[in-house]
Amino acid sequence: MDSKKLAEIFPGLISDYLEDASSPEQVQPDPLHLAHPSWSFTTTGSILTVGALFHDSEQLRVTVGLAVDVPYDPQVSHVVNHLNNKELVYGRMFLIGNEGSGRGCILMQEIFTAVSIDEEFVPSLQNLLLVIGTMGGQASRLAPGLREQFGGRPFNPDDAFFLQTNG
């Protein structure tokens, strides 16, 4: 399907079929939402997640926030790379930050092409939900330890726009 059709069904998929997820809320008000549809919701363990559609590339980017205000340094990067390589089933984990402040955040993301998802082909919808649910579970398991080791705080609903624009 195309990204415009996916924008119509995505919130319902999350609210109706993703166990432990909160109801998706628009990240931006209309008319901005129509140009760049995105929704925030929490998954297992109250992990903030944003699903954002990019019409120009026909992509759905699902970005999960693990920790905000962690050190932006090689030690954190090494741990994130290790987890990315050895622990994650789905998604990729990365550290983004600001060299000036020395602070950053840890995110996970998976990118889906809209054409890989089809309402008529139920396994494509099941796969989408499986990947999003698994990412939420992974984040719920890993985020507390990362925050304990490096400080920082959990993402909250006010951080949804940040996840949308940095994912």
Mean pLDDT, to the nearest integer, of 137-144? Answer: 96
Helix axes 3-17, 122-150, angle to 10 degrees: 70
pLDDT digit string, tens, across residues 90-129: 999 999 999 999 999 999 999 999 999 998 999 999 999 9
Interval 50-62: pLDDT, tens: 999 999 999 999 9
pTM score of the predicted model? 0.95
Q: How confident is the model at residue 28 (pLDDT cuts 50, 70, 90)?
A: confident
Give percent of the chain with pLDDT exceeding 70: 99
Residue 135 maps to which CATH number?
A: 3.30.1460.10
- Asked if 36 and 53 touch (Cβ cutoff 8 Å), the reply is yes
The whole-number pLDDT of residue 81 equals 97
* Count of structural domains within the chain: 1
* Cα–Cα–Cα angle for 50, 93, 46, rounded to 5 degrees: 45
* pLDDT at position 31 over 90: no
Q: Which domain holds residue 83?
A: 3-166
Q: What residues are paired with 107 via a beta bridge?
A: 65, 94
Residue 80 has pLDDT above 80, yes or no: yes
- Confidence class for position 34, pLDDT limits 50, 70, 90: confident
